[in-house]
Structure 1
Amino acid sequence: MMKQKLMFIVETVGGGVRTHVLQLLNGLDPEQYDITLVYGERYDHVFEQQKDELAKKVRLILMPSMQRTVSPKPLIASIRELRRVIRDIRPDIVHCHSSIAGFVGRVAAHKEGVPKIFYTPHAYAFDAPEFSSLKRDAFVLMERWTSRHATTRTFNVSRGEYRNALKHHIDRQGKFRVIYNGLPDIELPSRLEARERLGLRDVVPDESPIVGCCAWLNDRKDPMTFMAIANRVIAQRPDVHFVYMGEGEPEFVANVKAYIAKNNLGGNIHLFGYRSDAALLVPAFDVYLLSSLYEGMPYSLVEALRAGVPIAATRTTGNDEVVLPGRNGELFGVGKIDEGVAAVNHLLEQHPETGTLHDQVKQTYYDRFTEQQMLDQIVDEYNGNA
C-alpha cells in the first residue's frame, strides 16, 4: 500500500502541544505515513533534545515566519511560505495544532487543494484571559472561517472545548470530534524512589505528605493561587511540603520566589525548574494540585492519574473531565483559595499513597486516557473510517 503523505503544522512546540505532536510523530506507523513537521522558532528543551533523532524518520522544516500574532502582515507571510512548502511536498493530509498554526496552516492547505485538513486547538485562544477582547474576537472570526471553509474535522481534546466551539458558533456539530489526550502506560518508580530521584529525601521526611505539580509559571497556570493554597495548608499542617516543577516567564518566577521569601515558606515549598524526567517524578506526590485559569486537556493531570495520585484542580474546561470528584480527586473554583485548601486537605486525609484510592485513581487513567486509545481514534479519522 502506498504511504500517505502527512504534514503536521505547529507554531509553538512546547508543553502539552509538544507532548501530543511527539506522540503522533513517534506513534504513527512509518509504513503507512510519510511524515513532515513544519514548526516555528518557539520550542522547548524536550523538542530541542529530540530533533536530531526525529530527523532520521521525519522531515523537519523550520519556518521562522510563523509567529504568535494576529497581525495581518506576518499571517500573510506565513500563509505564502506554507503554500510553497505544501506545493513542494503535496501532502494527502495536513494536521494543524493550536490557533496560529491552525489558521495559517488550514488556509494554506485549503488554497493548495489538500484533500484532508485536520485541526487540534489544544484550548481555543479566544478563551485566553491574557488577550484583549478585540484580539479574542479576532480569533473567533479566524476560527469560524477556517472551520467552515478549510477543515475536514476539528479534534477537541475535551467536551468542554467542544462546547466552547459550539457556543461561539464556530461550525456545525458534525465538524468536531472529542478525542482525549492519552499517555502510554509505563513503569513508574515507587513513591520513595521518586522522592529520592527528585532529591527531597534528605529534606522531606518519608512520612511527610507532598503536594505538587508540574506546570509552566505563566498566566494560564496561575501559580500564585498554588502558592496561596500552599501557604494556608502549611499554616494548618507544618508537616506538608509543596513542590512546583516547571520553568516560566521571568516575572512569574520572580513573583513566586518573592512570595515564598516574604511568607517564610522556603522550608516547605520547593521550586524546581525544567526536569526532563518530570513524568517519572509524579509518584513522589500524595496530592496533585493544579490551579489553572483555563485548559484544553492538561497532560499533567493524566500523568497524575497514571501514577495513582489524586488531584485537586480548578473547575475549568478540561480539568473537569479528568477529575471525577469522589473517585480520583476534587475540584475547586478558579482563584478560590479557601476551596483549594479544603480540597487539598480532604485528599490528604485519604492516605492516597496506598490502598483503594490509589487503585481507583489509576483505573480512571485506564478507562479513558491511554495513548493507544488516542492514536486509534486519530488514525480512524485520517483513514476516513470514523
Structure 2
Amino acid sequence: MDRKLKLLYISEATSGGLRKNVLDLINNIDKDKFEVHFIYSDIRADDIFIDNIKVLSKNISTYNVKMVRNLNFFEDIKSFLKINNIVRKVKPDIVHCHSSKAGGIGRLIAYINRVPKIIYTPHAYVIQNPNIGNLKRNIFYIIEKLLARLTTTTINVSNGEKQFAVQSKLIEKQKSKVIYNGIENIISDIGNIHSKRNELGLSREDFIVGVASRLEVQKDPFTFIKIAIKVCNHMPNVKFIYVGDGELSLDIRKILKQNNMEDRIKLLGFRDDISEIISVFDIYMITSLYEGLPYSLVEAIACGKPILATNVIGNNEIVIEGVNGELFEKGNIEQGFHKLVGMITDQEKLTRYSEESLKMYSSKFTIDNMIQNVELVYYNKTS
C-alpha cells in the first residue's frame, strides 16, 4: 500500500459499552495501515472516556463536536455543519459511524462528500425498543431505511441484530457483516478477588449475584431489583450488586429503602473497575429489554461467570441455555426468580457453566478476532 487509509470514527454516545467499542477500535487498529481521526461528543461522556480522550488526543486527530441524543432540529443542524467542515478538511477514505445519531448525521455527510466507504454500527436499533411509541418508531424506521442505501457495510454486533434488520427490511442481507464485540483477557487471580470482596464489604460466605449496567429503561433494572428482593427474602446468604448509574437511580434507591434492602442489594454507581467487580460475582444476571450485544456480558464470560439473562437479541448469542447459563423471558420476575434459585443451589451446574463461559469467550469474543474482522470490512473483504 502506497499510503495509509484515512479512517474517521464518529460517535455521539461516549459511555458504557459503545464507548468501550470505539476506544478499543481506535487503540487497536493497525496504525501502520490507517491514519485515524475521531469526532465525538462529550455531552454523554463518562469519566473513563474523558480520561482516555486526553491520551488519544496526543496520538490521533480528535474533534469535540456537541451532539445531542434525541432529535433536535437546531442542534442537529449545528452538529451537521461542524462535522461537514471536518470531513471536507480530512477527506477520509472510510467513515465509520456508531449508533443512531452519529449514524444519521455522519452517513449523510459522508455520502454528500463522496467518501468511498461508509460503515455503520448501530449497537442495537432504536426501533428494537418495545416501549417506543409508534410515531417515533416510524420516524426512526424511515431514517434508518433511507440511510442504509448510502451505507457500504453495516456492522451488526450479533446475528440476532442482523436478522432483525433484514426481516424489518432496514438493510440488505449482503450489505451486513456480523462482528461480535471482543475484549482482552481479564480473568483475575484468587488473591485479587478476595481483596475486592473485602473492599466491597463482602464476606467469603456471601453468595454474590451482580450486573454492570446502566440504570435506564433499556436495561430494566426494576426486574433485576424485584428478583433480587424475592431471593433475599428466601436466601439469607445471598447479596446483590448493581454497578452503574442512570436516570432511574433515584427510583431504584427508593424501592430498596422501602423494602429495607439497602444492605443486601448494593448500588455502586459508576465505577472504573468494572471487570474487577465482576470477578467477585458468583452469578451474572442481566435483565435487558433489548440489546445489540452487551459488552458487560462479554466481560462476564471472560471472567468465567455463569449467566442468567433475558432471552433477547444479543444476550441469547452469548448465553446458551443449559450450557454456560440460563435464559428467561424479559420482565418475567417469577421465571427469573425460580431460575436464579435453581442456579444458586446447584454448585455442579455453576462449575460447568463457568467452564463453558470461558470456552465461549476464547472461541468468539476476543479483541483480536474483532479487530481482524473490522479491518477486513475496511478493506471491503467481507466474504
TM-score range, shorter chain: over 0.9
Deviation at 1:218, TM superposition (A): 0.9
After TM superposition, the structure 1 = structure 2 runs for residues 80-119 of structure 1, keeping only pairs within 5 Å, are 80-119=81-120
**1: CA distance between counterparts of 2:348 and 2:116?**
49
The answer for the alignment partner of 2:293 in structure 1 is 297
**2: CA distance between counterparts of 1:213 and 1:317?**
18
The answer for the alignment partner of 2:122 in structure 1 is 121
The answer for the alignment partner of 2:145 in structure 1 is 144
Q: Deviations over 1:243-288 (max 9, x none)?
A: 1111112xx1111111111112123111101111111221101100
The answer for the alignment partner of 2:170 in structure 1 is 170
Which deviates further from its counterpart, 66-75 or 310-319? 66-75
CA contact (8 A) 1:234 1:268 kept: yes
The answer for the alignment partner of 1:132 in structure 2 is 133
CA contact (8 A) 1:229 1:337 kept: yes
The answer for the alignment partner of 1:283 in structure 2 is 279
Which deviates further from its counterpart, 278-287 or 351-360? 351-360
From 57, 60, 68, give the equivalent of 1:58.
60
- 1:7 match: secondary structure: strand
Deviation at 1:217, TM superposition (A): 0.7
Instruction: State the AA in 2 paired with 1:377.
Output: N
Deviation at 1:130, TM superposition (A): 4.9
Structure 2: segments with no counterpart, 5+ residues = none
CA contact (8 A) 1:287 1:352 kept: no
Q: Deviations over 1:129-185 (max 9, x none)?
A: 45422111111111111111x110000011111111112211221111111111111
Alignment identity in percent?
A: 36
Structure 1: segments with no counterpart, 5+ residues = none
Where in structure 1 do 4 or more consecutive aligned residues deviate above 6 Å?
none
CA contact (8 A) 2:187 2:304 kept: no
Q: Deviations over 1:338-373 (max 9, x none)?
A: 111122112212327984432222111111111111
**2: CA distance between counterparts of 1:352 and 1:210?**
17
**2: CA distance between counterparts of 1:338 and 1:133?**
29
Q: CA RMSD in A?
A: 1.7
The answer for the alignment partner of 1:48 in structure 2 is 50
After TM superposition, the structure 1 = structure 2 runs for residues 222-237 of structure 1, keeping only pairs within 5 Å, are 222-237=220-235
Deviation at 1:79, TM superposition (A): 2.6
**Alignment length (residue pairs):** 380
The answer for the alignment partner of 1:254 in structure 2 is 250
Instruction: State the AA in 1 paired with 2:81.
Output: R
Instruction: State the AA in 1 paired with 2:25.
Output: L
The 1:58/1:9 distance shift into structure 2, 3 A limit, reads: same
The answer for the alignment partner of 2:209 in structure 1 is 211
- 1:363 match: secondary structure: helix
The 1:63/1:198 distance shift into structure 2, 3 A limit, reads: farther
Confirm whether residue 362 of structure 1 aligns to residue 363 of structure 2. no
CA contact (8 A) 1:189 1:280 kept: no
Instruction: State the AA in 1 paired with 2:49.
Output: F
Deviation at 1:328, TM superposition (A): 0.7
CA contact (8 A) 2:282 2:305 kept: yes
**2: CA distance between counterparts of 1:259 and 1:195?**
30
Deviation at 1:84, TM superposition (A): 1.3
Instruction: State the AA in 2 paired with 1:138.
Output: I
Give the structure-1-normalised TM-score.
0.94
